[in-house]
Amino acid sequence: MLSRVAKLMLTSTAIAPVLLTYAWVAFQSGDSCVALVLAAACVALVFVCWLLLRYAKNNLERMSFKPVSIEAADRENMGFLLLYLLPLFTAQFDALNWNVWIPAILIFAGVVATGYSYHFNPLLGLMGWHFYKVGTAEGVTYVLITKKQLRNATDTVEIGQLTEYIVLDLGEE
């Protein structure tokens, strides 16, 4: 189990599309240097996310998992999309109040990284991954990250445990 490191990495990589949006706003405001730095940070976060998934697939202990219930968990994406598009509604990049935005983003990341509220990383969604809330026979609910379309709870899935309540499908896609 990767635990806090994985949760921190998944949380931080979730902001990659936000950085791309801010890069666009900066570019349109004529601040090419800031736009380039933000775009580079976005690419770096995409690479970190890819490395995390690759590391997990190759190094996590493989377990057989048979859920008794399945529910789609990536419905929260509309809130994230609104957050990503919000910078586009500002007139200029330098008009953004960074004294408010930076602490707000840090608080949001801290709450998600230390709690059990993590359900969706839009970057993983763009990479073709899906999120499901899956229940066990013991009554425990996990978030399963998989590339498969799960339609019923009769199939057994080979998983690795990323955090206490997040599991990754390690089977073939």
pLDDT digits (tens, 9 = 90+) for 117-164: 555 677 788 888 888 889 998 999 998 999 988 877 777 889 998 888
Task: Please tell me the pTM assigned to this model.
Answer: 0.74
User: Which string of b and e fits 4-16 if b means at least 16 CB within 10 Å?
Assistant: eebbbbbbbbbbb
> What's the mean pLDDT in 75-87?
61
Residue 130's nearest CA partner among 147, 150, 151 is 147
**Which of 172, 147, 160, 165 shows the shortest CA–CA distance to 62?**
160
Euclidean distance between CA atoms 62 and 171, whole angstroms: 9
Q: Which amino acid is at 116?
A: Y
Share of the chain above pLDDT 90, in %: 17
* 9, 12, 31, 33, 154 from 122: Cα distances, Å: 13, 11, 26, 26, 27
Which pair of structure tokens corresponds to residue 152?
């019923």
Q: Does 82 score more than 70 pLDDT?
A: no
CB proximity list for 150: less than 8 A, separation 6 or greater: 70, 130, 132, 134, 144
